[in-house]
Amino acid sequence: MMDDASSQNQESLVEFARKQQFAGDDLQACWSLVVKGLEYHVLDGDEVVELLDLLNKRWDYINDEISFEFVGNRLRVKFLGEKYFCPPKEFMLALEKLVNPIFYAKDKVMKLSHFSLKPGDQPIITTSEYLELRQHYDGIRRRRYELAMMWKQLKKQGKELSPDLFEELGQLESQITPTMYALQRRTPFVLVSLCPYCKTEIWQAVGVFSLLDEFWYKSSSTGREVPKVSAHCPHLFCIDGALNLNNHQPTEQSQAIVSMGATTIPMAAEVPFVKPRVLNLPTMRAVIHSIPVAERYTAYPIVYFAERRPADHIHFCIPWASPAFDGMRPYANNREIGFTGTRSDQQDYDLTKWIEKGKLSWVDPETEAKLMDGPVEAFPYAHVAGRRHPYYIEEGRVHDLPDPVESAPKIILGDLVPPRF
């Protein structure tokens, strides 16, 4: 028998499943059996997660009442006396939405998805929820650091921590990793763009609730960090962006506790822009969107797509919230050599001309479900006020940098990598 919490979760699952509508009759018919399985408690949340995992491995799922079996290039779904066939890929995408439902943030309409939730996890969809868990996690990290430094100093004196403090340190060590993963799982991915070629939704773990989030602190990036379980887009070239502080002083950033060596937030500008070098590449197009951050700021993802994506060692793009791009380029004897590109591309803030050229689109801010290519007069980001040059945030203070004037990023060669066989 289900407890009250489980029953409530099951009801939410059934309600969400009932709302799903599909263009194909065969997919809709198969889905109707999923709904019945949930209504009759033949399937629950844990079993849906297991089902998706098995189907992704192309394994069948069979029990007494309901089954999902691969038959050639079709999926056969059976529930009691009914059975239907449908395309496996489309069915699994529908199932993914059931496992990771899309929410809309309460602060402002914003499409969020939780690709990593485990059964029992409560998704974070408000700033206050995020900050509560963030402060708990950072509190554990601070206290662990204090005790670790205290122990280090005592060791130099030939002493040890007191039993109580040593026990506390052990408890903190056991808490920090589960708390970190809980924060990561419950923090949503955000819709940042739509591909102009295949219409795939592009999701990223943007730190929309706070500048304390690890997203804003990167020493380097490829610009294509998207969740592996989301739909793959072969046209995605680079996710760049701007962060507008909207005349606020980001004092909370001084409280950031960040690992991996990055302590500042590097940003290309406050105002949306494009890089002419990148956008002038063959088949390259850009898409701009806007996302509220921490209820004070506005992020502008600027995402580049190419029908024929160039190799990174020929053309690359410095992504947002990162000062550098790390890549590999071919070398002799099947070896590769690492390289780093630093942000020095020229940035163009006159965006209307790129819309007129058919090179720039934007995500409809009302629905987040379609791309807009015009008219130019409808472009919502033509008159955004703010810094038209790079800047960085350190210790809660903003430091301005000169606008890039070079036509391409600077490249620094690294070390040779062993051959790949």
- pTM of the predicted model as reported, rounded to 2 decimal places: 0.71
Q: What is the mean pLDDT of residues 134-138?
A: 90
Instruction: Copy the structure tokens of residue 280.
Output: 């002038």
Determine the distance from the C-alpha atom of residue 33 to the mean position of all C-alpha atoms in its chain, rounded to a whole number: 32
C-beta of residue 337 within 8 angstroms of C-beta of residue 415: yes
Domain boundaries, the chain: 4-99, 127-186, 190-417
| Whether pLDDT at 285 is above 80 | yes
Highest mean pLDDT (candidates 99-113, 117-131, 167-181, 260-274): 167-181
Indicate the range of 269-278, 309-318, 370-379 predicted with least confidence: 309-318
Residue predicted with more confidence, 211 or 114:
211
Residue 91's pLDDT band (cuts 50, 70, 90): very high
How many Cα atoms sit within 13 Å of 20 on the Cβ side? 27
Q: Are 381 and 269 in contact (CB under 8 A)?
A: no
Helices and strands in the chain, H and E counts = 8, 20
Cβ-contact 140, 179 below 8 angstroms: yes
Q: What mean pLDDT comes out for the span 197-225? A: 86
User: What is the crossing angle of helices 4-19 and 25-39, to 10°?
Assistant: 170
DSSP string, 296-360: TEEEEEEEEEESSPPPTTTS--PPTT-SEEEEEEEETTTEEEEEEEES-B--B---HHHHHTT-E
Counted residue by residue, the chain has a size of 421
Q: What is the pLDDT of residue 79?
A: 94
* Residue 172 one-letter amino acid: L
Q: What is the mean pLDDT of residues 48-56?
A: 85
Q: Are 73 and 58 in contact (CB under 8 A)?
A: no
Cβ within 8 Å of residue 274, ≥6 positions away: 286, 302, 347, 348, 351, 354, 359, 360
Nearest to 341, CA basis, from 323, 314, 359, 321: 323
183 has pLDDT over 70: yes
Q: What is the pLDDT of residue 125?
A: 77
Q: Mean pLDDT highest for which of 30-34, 118-122, 187-191, 367-371?
A: 30-34
Closest C-alpha among 119, 152, 151, 2 to residue 51: 119
Q: Are 241 and 301 in contact (CB under 8 A)?
A: yes
More confident residue, 316 or 241: 241
Whether the Cβ atoms of residue 203 and residue 226 lie closer than 8 Å to each other: yes
In single-letter form, the type of residue at position 142 comes to R
Give the residue-averaged pLDDT of 275-302: 94
Neighbours of 9 (CB within 10 A): 16
Q: Is 235 in contact with 198 (CB distance < 8 Å)?
A: yes
The residue-averaged pLDDT of 215-242 equals 80
Predicted confidence (pLDDT) at residue 15 exceeds the cutoff of 90 = no
CB under 8 Å to 176, separation ≥6 — which residues? 137, 140, 141, 144
Q: Count CB neighbours of 414 within 10 A.
A: 14
Element of type H or E holding 154: helix 127-156
Q: Report the relative pairing of strands 360-363 and 284-288 from DSSP bridges.
A: parallel
Judge whether residue 144 has pLDDT over 50.
Answer: yes
pLDDT above 50 (res 421): no
Closest CA to 278 of 411, 412, 408, 373: 408
pLDDT at 259 over 60: no
Res 106 pLDDT > 50: no
Beta carbons within 8 Å of 262's beta carbon, 6+ residues apart: 217, 218, 219
Q: Which of 209-218, 291-300, 341-350 has the highest mean pLDDT?
A: 291-300
- Per the rule left: phi > 0, alpha: psi between -120 and 50, beta: everything else, 352 is alpha
